Amino acid sequence: MDVEVGSNLYRDTDGMIEIDGVPQIQVALKPTTGDLLVTFALFDAGGKVTAKLIDSTLMINERRAYEVDTTPKSLRLTHSASGTVILEMDVKAPGVVAFTKGEFHTMKGRAIHVSSTEWNIDKLRVSGTMHDLKGGSVVLG
Look over the chain and give the mean of its residue pLDDT values, rounded to a whole number.
96
Predicted pLDDT of residue 96? 97
Helix, strand, coil shares of the chain, percent, nearest 5, are 0, 65, 30
Predicted pLDDT of residue 95? 95
pLDDT digits (tens, 9 = 90+) for 11-38: 999 999 999 999 999 999 999 999 999 9
Predicted pLDDT of residue 20? 92
Predicted pLDDT of residue 114? 98
Q: Which pTM value belongs to this model?
A: 0.95
Strands 130-140 and 119-121: unpaired
Count up the domains in the chain and report the number.
1
Predicted pLDDT of residue 72? 97
pLDDT digits (tens, 9 = 90+) for 82-94: 999 999 999 999 9
Q: Which domain holds residue 21?
A: 2-140
The stretch 64-77 carries a mean pLDDT of 97
